[in-house]
Structure formats: C-alpha cells, structure tokens
Structure 1
Amino acid sequence: MLKYLLMIIFLVPLCLLNNSWWLVHSFIFLFSFVFMICIYSYCDLNMIGYCFGIDYFSFSLILLSFWICSSMIMGSRSIYLSSYHPEFFFNLILILLIMLYFSIACLSLLSLYIFFEAWMIPIMFLILGLGYQPERLQAGIYLIFYTLIASLPLLLWLFKVYDYVNNLYFPLLFDFGSYYFMFYVLMVLAFLVKLPMFLFHLWLPKAHVEAPISVSMTLAGVLLKLEGCGIFRVMKLISFLGLKFNYFWLSLGLSGGVIISFICFCQVDLKSLIAYFSVAHMSMVIGGLMTMNWCGCMGSLSLKIGHGLCSSGLFCLSNIIYERLGSRSLLMNKGMINFMPSMSLWWFLLSSSNMAAPPSLNLIGELSLLNSIMSWSSFSFLVLMFLSFFSAVYTLYMYSYSQHGSYFSGVYTFTLGYLREYHLLFLHWFPLNILCLKGEYFFV
C-alpha cells in the first residue's frame, strides 16, 4: 500500500512546476495501470488482502479513483489556461486522491471515520474557490452541515465502543454489548446521508450545480461510491440488527428513488438534472446493500462502477456545452445536434448507458439488483418497475431536449469539439462498456 501512496505524495512537488499539468495527469493515469496489474492477483474474498485492506470492493473503487482523478485534470484545462492558481488546484486533487486511497483501504473504524470526513476539506476548497456563482457559499454550508451533523454523533459513539471493546480493528470486532443498537443507527445514518439517501439529498444538487467540472466528476464518480463501500465493510458487524431493521432503509430508498424520478422531470438546469439522476440510481444501490445477500452487494458494486463512469461523462458533456454557450439551461441548450453532430453521438452513447442499455456495466448491475431486491420481497417489483421505466424516461427527456429542437437564436459563434474532449469522453465510455465482458468478476 505504501508504495502507491508514496507515488502519489511524490507528485506534489511536480505540481509546483510550470507547464506540468500534463505530467501529473500522465503519472496518475500510469498509476492506475500499475495498480491494476500489481494488485489484482492479490485480492481476496475476505476483507483482508495481502495489501492492507484491499479486497474486491476496495480494488475496484481505488482503480476508479485513479481513473477519475486523472480525468479531472484533463477536463479542467480551462483552469490552467486562465492561470487561475493551477498549482493549488492540482495539489488539492492529489490530497483528495490520498484521502480516497486511505478511506477505501483502511481497516480501523476510527481511521475510516477520519478519512471519510477528511475528503470534505479539498472539496470545500474547490467549490468555494472555483465555483461559478455566489450561491457556492450556500452549497458549501449545505455540504458541511449535512455531512458533519449526521456523522459527529458516530464519532462520540466510536469512543464509547472503544472504551468498551478496547479495539476498533475490523476483524477483531464482534460484540458491542449495550452499545450495539445506537452503533447500528448512527453508522447507517452517517453513510446514507453521504450516499445520499432520499430526504437527506439536498446538499448534492446544490454542490453539483455550484461546483466546477472537476468536483462534479469526483462527486459523481467516486465520493458517492465510498459510502457504499463503508456500508459493505460494517455490514458484518451490524448484520443481526440489519436483518430486523434494514427493511426501513430499503423501503425508504426505493420509494425515494421514485419520487426523485418525478423531480427529474421538473429540472431545467442540465447539471441539476444529472445530479438527481445520481440520487435515483443510488436508491437501487441502497436497496441492494440492505438486502445483505451476495448478489445485492456485488450488483451494487457493478452499478457503482458503471454509474461513476457514466455520470462523470455526462457532467463532462454538460461542461462542454457550458464552456461554449455560458449557460446550462435546457431552455437555451437546444438543437445541439445542429452545432456539434459528432458530440451528439457521445450524448447518445452515454445516455443509453445511463438507462442501462446493453452492453454497459449498468445493465449487469441493475439486473443483479433487481434479482436481489425481488428475492427479498416479491412485492417490490412495482417500485422497481417504476424506477427502471422512469430511468429511461428522464434520460430520453435530457437527450431529446438538449439535442433536438430549434437552437437558441442568440448563438452567434461556436467552436467544435477538441481532441482532448473526445479523448476524455472515450476514457469514460470505453471501460463502461468493455467491463461487461468481465462480468464474472463482480459475481465470483
């Protein structure tokens, strides 16, 4: 583990050099391949691998973190061209990557809590420093208060558990005594607010709308997936109460996903619409994790990887339009197929993957989650039917509304897509559709 961590830390001095953004990006991209080749054979089905806390869940999410962080630098070239403190921006990305690596691969409950909260610091700096509108201050306050208020009671309870058990190491935890019920409630609540679950999701659309493209990519691509990894890690510890009370979280998540699908139809801001996509998709992930069977957990992993790549690519597409028109409103971004027909192909490819069309990884994830939740309760097919149907409806709404129709008459100049943008979109779409060939990895 330390050699990969040191590789990331030694990139920090490179960020201080002029014209070094391409070098940092190339090294992070290279690290993803080195990590993939060197670690894959050491992954174990248990929570402890040969490389600290790297198992199937950890390996996939760390690999996704490397991939998305390298894409963040590629998608944020405007920050470098405008000379708006690019060194500070690259350092924040590397700090964020270190926090992600620690939080995914740790084996202690306290370090899990610390690093799960620590990623908010670079995200706050990125939103407040590089956000688009004055409302970014409100978005930052929403992010801090929603996540901290939900998780601070957990920190106090971890101290109580440590006082009782004298240990917070995952493999050695087995009995919490009288602290068990509150540990279950606070642990699940802390993770579900960050996931986010319906009723606690208001911070996410605000953060996405006010954030620069790099924050939107990492929020949708990686950070929402960490909470699912955290729930999977602690599920063995809370399985007894989970069998009794998980039906509440599962029902709230699925019904909330249907309500969020209706909210998607009211959105006119492109980034806000894609952000609500994430909340609706995460409701199925919550359902799969709360069933506590192997099909549901692995299905949630495959859907998280697929959704991380797909939604990050959709945010890149919305930013490409925003850089040209200066607006994300669907009322102005109409008829884009007239201006950028080649970019409409990428809109179609990523939109079809978002609605779980074959051969995307989302299809494998949704099929296994359908199987898992239906095995828990056959009556849930009604909610799942609505979720799958509305997923296709609001994706088609976004695609048809933005690509077809009469274009805005105020557009007097336009630039076509750059090679960098096509390369960035390809790096999202290609693994999203080629990983379905390795579908057995998620169901070993």
Structure 2
Amino acid sequence: MKFIFMMVFMIPLCFGVNYWMIQIMFFMLMMMFMLSFSFNYLFLNISYFLGCDLLSFSLILLSIWICSLMILASESLYKNNNYYNLFCLVMIILLLTLFITFSSMNLFIFYLFFEISLIPVLILIIGWGYQPERIEAGIYLLFYTLLVSLPMMISIFNYYISFYSLEFYFMNENINNIFMYLCMNFVFFIKLPMFFVHLWLPKAHVEAPVSGSMILAGIMLKLGGYGLMRLMVLFLELNMKINIIFIMISLVGGVYVSLICIRQSDMKSLIAYSSVAHMGLVMGGIMTMSIWGMCGSLIMMLAHGLCSSGLFCLANMSYERTQSRSLYLNKGLINNLPNLTFWWFLFSCCNMAAPPSLNLLGEIMLINSLISYSWLSMILLSMMSFLSAVYSLFLYSYTQHGMIYSGGYSFYSGLGREYLLLFLHLFPLNILILKMEYFSMWI
C-alpha cells in the first residue's frame, strides 16, 4: 500500500517540478520497489487485496521502468511547453492503475483497474498524437476492448454466485463451460492481441506519440498475457479440448503478420506488426498450459516490452530529425547518424532473438513448449523465426543504408539523453539472461 500512497503524493508534484526531478522520483520509486520484494512464486507483502508473486513483481517492475523511460523520451513536450504538467499527471495515474492491476489478488478489482488503465492511454493518444486520425485510433482502442468487457463482467458475477469468492489464491475450481471460457478470456485475446482482433494495435501505434507507443508495446499488451496466465487455471479440462484452436490461430496469424511486416513502408507500423507476431508466440506458449510455456511467456513479455519500446524510441529519434516515419525518406541514416546506426543494429538483433538477448531465452522456451504440444507446430515456428530475422534486417538495412534523401535540410547528432534512454532499454534486456534462474521459480 505504501507505493500507492507514494504515487498519490507524487500527483501534486507534477505542477511546478522540473523535468529531471520527476525523472529522478520515478527511478527512486522503481529502486524502492525492487528492494521491497523477492522473486518468488508465493504471494508476498499481502495487504487486504494486494500482493505480489513472481509474475506480478516482474510486470510491476517493468511498468515503473517503462513509465520512467517514457518521461525521459518526452523531453520535447517539456521544451515546447506542450501541457507537460498534464502529461506527467496522466503518467502517474497510468502507473497507479497498472500497479493495482498487476498486484490485485481479487478478480473484480483486477477487472476494474484493467479497464481504467485504458483511459490514460486514450488521453495520451488523443492529446499528444500526431495526425488527425488519432481520434479514430483512440476509438478503435477503446471499443475493441469495451466490446467484450461487459461479457467478462457478467461472467465474473456468475463465477462469484457459483463459488462465493473472487480471490486468485482460492481459484482451484474446474469450469467446463465454453461460454464462460470465451466471455472470461476474449478480452485478454483482444488485449494481447490475437490475430483477427489485432487491427486496433497498428492504428493506435501509428497515431500515438512516442510515450504512447512505449506504454502500449511495453505494458498494455502484457495485460492480456497476465490475465490469461491468471485465469487459465479455471478451465483445465476445457483447455485440453479447445486450446489447439487458439494455438493454431496464434501461430498461423504470427506467420501472416510477419509477412505483412515485410511490406510496410511506415517504421512504427512495421514495429507494431512485429509486436503482434511476438505476442502470438506468447499466446501459443500460454495455451500449451506447460511450465515451459508459462515461464517462456513471462520472459518473452519482459523482453518484448524492453525491445519494442526501444525500437519505438529509435523510430521517434529518426522522426524528430526527418519529420517523417516513411522508410523511403529515412534512408542512408548511417551517413548522418552513425552512432544511432549502432543502436539500430543492436535493437534489430534483439528483435530477431539473437544472443545474448532475453528474447532468445523466451523464444527457446516457447518453441520447446509448442513443439512438445504438437510436433507439427515446427513448420510454423520455423517460418516465424526466419521471418522475424527477415523483417528485422529489412528495417535495419532499409533505414541505415542506401542513398540519403535529397530533400533533407539539416541534421543534429544524437543527444546524451537519447543515448541514456537507449542504454536503459538495452542493458536490462541483455543482462537479465545471466539471471535466468529467477524466472524458473514455478518449476
């Protein structure tokens, strides 16, 4: 509870505190949280309705880290006096809702803050987005999720009437009702996003500011994976019968979306579609209901949150210099920004799961779980792995090499703040693989 009180007390400080002060407060909050819990599969620091296990702890830590980096990435708002105090207020409210969502031990409280977390993201997209289409993107984001949130709420009430408890700790019933399964989980399929219900994601990413893209890729997609991992235990018998359908959708959709990535002309759109492909792999791993799948999904969610957020930061740095996200206009950047080319290379390697990134560990565990589920999935998994390398190399080579765009007028080199921002994405992404035993506590 003390972290919630600290975040509430940070709200008045948004007004009248300078840019670096807010940044330091977020990092201090993150360090205090990291030292307050341990990596364990048991619920720790339990209050009346809040507690953390390994899954919650990892995702809350990622939330605080990404939110602090969002403030670091949004210095242009501060310089242009573009309602920066309001932006920081929205950030703190967003972090507060995410903290309660991930640490809640009650299903209804989780559902409530799961839906509330949409509102700050909607404000970010509509308030600080780039094009007039941002309103349409915000409506896509809102209504895709709200469409299936009412059936989930009704199924939660039905569950309470049947079993008299909504605490995650006591959820050991076996529900054999397919309508309950779909109502309870479809909101997570959309949030993840599953292929067929993924169209809101590229739209929202393209129209969002850099901070909006970072929080969408880094945290909001992970809400879907977190919800599935929490609630799959209720449908153990049903999972054995129908999970194969969703595994096939996620794998075939992952291959199809990887092919769509290769023909994108917008950098942010390409990175957004690659997120759909990676989260399809995560969904397949969760649906196998194996230890390998669960641990691999957690690792992949953390790795994707850091890697995809870093790629969106790089795309924004190119946009700030060329005023375009088009691959055709952002060519030959190695001639103007050789230092940033190095960072493009590192993040592209992480995106294709090259060692020593955390993505590699996650993919190995997910591929293991899916092949042990069905050896036929090898065909689709090999295509996904190959195509992830293809679109990552395509993004890197197309932006960094080739002829310089002749219409460009002037460039400024990378700033110290930008290098710090990229380092703080890349360092945990490549160093966490050294402590992979922390993620095997469930075994």
Deviation at 1:168, TM superposition (A): 1.5
The one of 374, 398, 403 aligned to 2:400: 403
Q: Are the equivalent residues in 2 in contact too, given 1:293–1:372 (CA < 8 A)? A: yes
Letter in 1 for 2:130: Y
2:240 is matched with which residue?
A: 243
Q: Give the match's secondary structure for 2:56.
A: helix
TM superposition score normalised by structure 2: 0.97
Letter in 2 for 1:186: C
2:160 is matched with which residue?
A: 162
2:7 is matched with which residue?
A: 8
Q: Are the equivalent residues in 1 in contact too, given 2:331–2:404 (CA < 8 A)? A: yes
Q: Are the equivalent residues in 2 in contact too, given 1:165–1:176 (CA < 8 A)? A: no
TM superposition score normalised by structure 1: 0.97
Deviation at 1:162, TM superposition (A): 2.0
Q: Give unmatched runs, 5+ long, in structure 2.
A: none
What's the CA shift string for 1:8-37, capped at 9, x where partnerless? 1111111011x4221111111111111112
Deviation at 1:171, TM superposition (A): 2.3
Deviation at 1:107, TM superposition (A): 1.0
Q: Does 1:276 align with 2:273?
A: yes
The one of 256, 259, 274 aligned to 1:259: 256
Letter in 2 for 1:38: S
Instruction: Pick closer, same or farther for the CA change 1:207–1:34 going to 2, 3 Å.
Output: same
Letter in 1 for 2:23: H
1:313 is matched with which residue?
A: 310
1:345 is matched with which residue?
A: 342
Name whichever of 228-237 and 324-333 sits farther off: 228-237
The one of 422, 425, 428 aligned to 2:422: 425
Q: Give the match's secondary structure for 1:413.
A: coil
Question: Across the two proteins, how many residue pairs are aligned to each other?
Answer: 438
1:3-152 alignment to 2 at 5 Å?
3-17=2-16, 19-40=17-38, 43-46=39-42, 48-51=43-46, 52-152=50-150
| Cα separation, 1, equivalents of 2:211 and 2:438 | 29
Q: Give the match's secondary structure for 2:402.
A: coil
1:172 is matched with which residue?
A: 170
Letter in 2 for 1:27: M
What's the CA shift string for 1:127-163, capped at 9, x where partnerless? 1111100100110111111111022211122222222
Letter in 2 for 1:234: L
| Cα separation, 1, equivalents of 2:88 and 2:251 | 38
| Cα separation, 2, equivalents of 1:207 and 1:60 | 25
Q: Are the equivalent residues in 1 in contact too, given 2:151–2:184 (CA < 8 A)? A: no
Deviation at 1:175, TM superposition (A): 4.0
Letter in 2 for 1:11: M
Letter in 1 for 2:206: V
Q: Does 1:366 align with 2:360?
A: no
Q: Give the match's secondary structure for 2:185.
A: helix
| Cα separation, 2, equivalents of 1:151 and 1:391 | 32
1:355 is matched with which residue?
A: 352
Q: Give the match's secondary structure for 1:53.
A: coil
Q: Give the match's secondary structure for 2:154.
A: helix
Letter in 1 for 2:10: L
| Cα separation, 1, equivalents of 2:204 and 2:149 | 19
Letter in 1 for 2:41: L
RMSD: 1.2
Letter in 2 for 1:6: F
1:141-220 alignment to 2 at 5 Å?
141-175=139-173, 180-220=177-217
Deviation at 1:381, TM superposition (A): 0.3
Q: Give the match's secondary structure for 2:234.
A: coil
Q: Give the match's secondary structure for 1:420.
A: helix
What's the CA shift string for 1:383-438, capped at 9, x where partnerless? 00000000000000000000000011011211000000000000000110000101
Name whichever of 261-270 and 158-167 sits farther off: 158-167
Letter in 2 for 1:49: L
Q: Give the match's secondary structure for 1:128.
A: helix
